Amino acid sequence: MEDKLFVIGSNGLNLLFDAISMLHTMHHEATACHITGEMVELLTILTDMLRTFRPKEFAPNIPGGNNNNIEEVPVITRYIANSKDWPDVLRKLATLLNTYNCADLRNSAIGNITQVHFKLTEFSVQLTFVF
C-alpha cells in the first residue's frame, strides 16, 4: 500500500497515463499490433493501483485491502482529478472496447474505466456526455 501511495505521490499516475497514450497510438497506427500484451499488462498495473484505493463502500471484503485506510481514498481522487491526461486516457480506453480488439484488452479497459468511475463518479458522468 505504501509503495503504491509513493508512486501516486511521485507523479506515477501521469507516467502511466502517458504510457497508455503512447501504446494506444502505437496500437492503432502500427500495421502490426504486437503490443497488445504490453498494453494489457500496463492496464492491469493501473487497475491494481486504482483498486488499492477503492472506497470502503465498494470494497468491504478485500483481504489486506484498504478498509482501515479510507483516508487515502481522497488522495488518489485528488491526483486523478488534477491530472490533465485522465479524460484523454478514458476516451482512449473507450476506443479499446470495440470488437476488433482481443478480449483481454477489452476486459482490461473495462476494469480501468470501472475503477476510475469508482473514484470520480461525478467526473465520469460528465465525461460520458462528451462521448
- Block means of pLDDT (10 residues each) for the chain, length 131 residues? 80 88 86 79 90 62 47 64 79 89 92 82 55 51
| Structural domain boundaries in the chain | 2-128
Q: What is the pLDDT of residue 54?
A: 67
Q: Both ends of the chain: CA-CA distance in Å?
A: 34
The one-letter code for the residue type at 75 is V
- Give the integer Cα–Cα distance in Å for 111 and 95: 14
